[in-house]
Amino acid sequence: MVKRIVMAAVLVALCLALTSVAKADTLLYNNGAINGMVEAYTINFGFQVSDSFTLSVSTSGLTRITGVGLWLFPGDTPTGIGWQIGSSFFGSDISSGFSSIATNTFQFMNTFGYDVYTSSLLISTPGLGPGTYYLTLDNATTAQGNPLYWDQNSGPSSAMDSSLGSIPSESFQVYGGTVTQTPEPASLLLLGSGLLGLAGGIRKRMKG
């Protein structure tokens, strides 16, 4: 009986040690809330805006971008945005795609006469380690086919506009899955041999 219990404990411990635990949909980077009252930059009709973001943990992949502040002509709504994740401004070497807007929330009409929305979109990337990456938005679409502008909130990231060069950064948050590191093989062997040694000690005491 004791032997079966000990061996089961060994197997469970080894299985847990071999598994990388992923936590999905965690806030990984926050560039701040929308402002809506200062400036915004075009992300369609051939224009691109690229913002840096820094990850402090290893991830299983990025899943969504939220809190994207968008300015639109009155009565229009955002419908989709092209996105790229790269290792440099305007880069797409990590992942890219076009996503329909997942959520749209009207905020207010600003003093410039634009409707201001906060929007989110789903994305997908491979796992990323700690470091600095770049989010680029472009090829955006609206219900009426008008220009779409990304809200400037002057958050902590660095930013570039494809026509203007360096600009203050824009409003967004990055979500994804975080992962724990798998133990080294030597650590697993040490754990297994220790537990097996414990089982042997119990058997000897029972025989004695």
What digits encode the pLDDT tens for the residues 128-174? 999 999 999 999 999 999 999 999 999 999 999 999 999 999 999 99
What was the pLDDT predicted at 200? 52
What was the pLDDT predicted at 182? 55
Residues forming beta bridges with residue 153, ordered by sequence position: none
pTM of the model: 0.79
Are 69 and 138 within one domain? yes
**Is the pLDDT reported for residue 6 higher than 50?**
no
Number of domains in the chain: 2
**Is the pLDDT reported for residue 72 higher than 50?**
yes
Domain carrying residue 123? 20-181
CA distance 20 to 146: 46
Are 15 and 112 within one domain? no
Of 81-85, 184-188, 201-205, where does the model show the most confidence? 81-85
DSSP letters for the chain: -HHHHHHHHHHHHHHHHHPPPEEEEEEEEE------SS-EEE-STT--EEEEEEE-S-EEEEEEEEEEEEEE-TT--EEEEEEEEESSTT--SSEEEEEEEEEEEEEEE-TTS-EEEEEEEE-------SEEEEEEEEEEEETT----EEEB---SS-EEETTTEEE--B--EEEEEEEPPPPPHHHHHHHHHHHHHHHHHHHHHHH-
> Position 117: which residue type?
Y
**Is the pLDDT reported for residue 197 higher than 80?**
no
What was the pLDDT predicted at 179? 81
Mean pLDDT of 76-98: 98
Are 123 and 200 within one domain? no
| Nearest by Cα to 131 from 162, 94, 161, 166 | 94
| Alpha-carbon distances of 160 from 41, 100, 118, 119, 134, rounded to whole Å | 10, 24, 21, 21, 10
Mean pLDDT of 38-59: 98
Are 191 and 89 within one domain? no
The per-residue pLDDT for range 8-20, each reduced to its tens digit, is 444 444 444 444 5
Are 43 and 12 within one domain? no
Are 87 and 9 within one domain? no
What was the pLDDT predicted at 145? 98
Are 39 and 126 within one domain? yes
pLDDT band at residue 41 using 50, 70 and 90 as cut-offs: very high
| Nearest by Cα to 88 from 39, 48, 124, 141 | 48
**Is the pLDDT reported for residue 97 higher than 50?**
yes
Give yes or no for a contact between 148 and 34, defined as CB atoms under 8 angstroms apart.
no
